A and B are shown apart, each in its own frame.
Chain A
Amino acid sequence: MSDNQFYDSLDELEPGHSTFLDSNELVLNMGPQHPSTHGVLRVILKLDGEKVNDLECVIGYLHRGIEKIAENRTWAQFGPFVDRLDYTAAVSNSLGYCLAVEKLLGVEVPKRAQYLRVILTELCRLASHQVWLGTHVLDIGAVTPLFYAFRDREDILNVFEKYCGARLTTHAFRIGGCRYDAYAGFAQEILHICDDLGPKIDEYRDLITGNRIWLQRTKNVGYISAEDCIAFGITGPVLRASAIQWDLRKKQPYSSYEDFEFDIPIGTAGDTFDRYVVRVEEMRQSIRIIRQAVEGLMEGPIIARVPKVIKPPVGEVYVSIEAPKGELGFFLVSDGTAQPYRVRVRPPSFINLQALTKMAKGSLVADVVAIIGTLDIVLGEVDR
């Protein structure tokens, strides 16, 4: 708002002349250090009172040059780096990268390793959705569910810790299979989590779903149509909440997902509330998958025969998986040497975030926070 334009002339204060009551566009900076941006996202808002006229995202604050790093490491050495993309779902990243390199190598992963991968990746989806649920609901003003979600996530992180020694950046898988076999009591512990988590998800529902404030803050907020989702390349729960039944685990099964029975939950309204319902339902489906995988876990080797120095043949592949945030793809180019020639990460958060402007334009400023939360972005992946 410029200060002097109101009082240039006293005439302007006369009725009919006044610019005093004209609404001026207020430019407001939000972030990068803002608790509701889930990291270091900066949003520049153009406001007309409470209404958002325009919005621009400024990203890159967490850029570490992951793709450049890859070109200076060996194929196996790059493995731990992918965990730092979406750090709330490190296991999924690891799976995506390993599958891509295995495709390039033409390696068949042993069945037991595939099942172990499914179990851990689905646990990771649960943990990721719990982080989303807790923080998203917290942003909108409900503090309690955060503690419930993080309490229950702890059980899953304990499994990761027992399995590979790390809780967040797990580096759970290796090219060709898994580095670690299931520990003693693995199956029982996971089945116990599955038994526990069902009622706990009911508890989340009781806390959140029927709450009037929650409904007012999420219904018809951040609407995006199915056509816009496709134009933006949006994937994952955001796409499914706009009534498109699309899930790579079903449509292009990888790592033995075809062995398991599960449904793809979809929404109808394409708003924040439907995205919430879809993600919570996905958690229930994940539990179903985990249960089947644990019960079907067969004996056998956990890693395929892979050369010590991995030198994939000259060529390029694009392999993608259904990560908790959407389609996570790896486009790899090999020149036949021990180092990748190019690694391109197709990050779901980056592509989904692009729709923020479209979704938030015309909404109220308080809804921007809800819309950032519902997109479920992780800045480690956006900025790479």
Chain B
Amino acid sequence: MPEVPEGNLPNPGAEKTAAAPTPAAAAPKPAPVPWDSALVQQLKNVFGSGIRDAATFAGQNYLVVDRSVCHEVLLNLSGQPDYTSLTDLTAVHYPKDELPFEMVWILFSMSANERVRVKARFADGEEVPTVTDRWVGANWLEREVFDMFGIRFAGHPDLRRILLPEEWTGYPLRKDYGAHQQDTDWVRKNLGIESGQ
């Protein structure tokens, strides 16, 4: 069945679709497969066991690296004529894991028209080396990660909150921060109301 829409608006097109057979249902579910290329080999030669994993998922390449070498790996990749631009930088919180914060850097190569994600795990309270020395655009992205996850970046020129007020307490995108949670003291003091909800 196709996804059932909200409300029951009359729509002859959707009914017609429901009856039509679609072959897509049998498509295999994507699963990661090892990624092997000259680039991975070269990185493995330089960093050895620092490169934990290199795999392809849904046609997208990623590298899992040890946190001790993550900055060098990123610089090494960016030093190649290829992966010169940083598309995005973010984090994911896995509170149950020993190293709960996964940093994700998405690099992009214009000449090869390829992306690669570099991932590394960090402990709570541990500083992540900044990449603002290589990409100025990482400045705000790292500030946002600090704002949302409380991850500090070593060497960042101006690490302040960016989206939330500077006096806010708590880091909203951590999994232990509730969906309705807020800094009620801040809201009371600055907005003069009991709750922002």
Contacts and interface: CB of A to CB of B under 8 A. Distances in A.
Interface residue SS majority, chain B: loop
Interface in A62-116: 63, 65, 67-69, 71-72, 76, 103-104, 106-108, 110
B38 interface: no
B57 A315 contact: yes
User: Nearest 6 pairs between A and B by C-beta?
Assistant: A181-B13, A60-B163, A233-B137, A232-B137, A305-B25, A305-B22
Contact of A110 (B4, B22, B136, B177): B22
A76 B137 contact: no
A350 B140 contact: yes
B97 interface: no
Interface residues of A, number: 62
Contacts of B110: 230, 244, 246
18 contacts: A106-B27, A106-B29, A106-B58, A108-B24, A176-B2, A177-B2, A181-B16, A182-B13, A230-B84, A233-B137, A252-B113, A301-B16, A301-B22, A329-B88, A351-B140, A354-B136, A354-B137, A384-B163
A75 to B, nearest CB: 10
A346 B88 contact: yes
A182 B12 CA distance: 11
Contacts of B140: 350-351, 354
A281 B139 CA distance: 32
Contacts of B13: 180-182, 302
Contacts of A300: 20
Contacts of B9: 165
B136 A179 contact: no
A354 B139 contact: yes
Interface string B81-108: 0001111101011000000000010100
Interface residues of B, number: 56
A65 B4 CA distance: 27
Interface in A231-250: 231-234, 244, 246
Nearest to B9: A165
Nearest to A234: B137
B107 to A, nearest CB: 11
In this complex, the member of B17, B32, B86, B115 whose beta carbon has the largest number of chain A beta carbons within 10 angstroms is B17
A266 to B, nearest CB: 14
B24 A107 contact: yes
B142 to A, nearest CB: 11
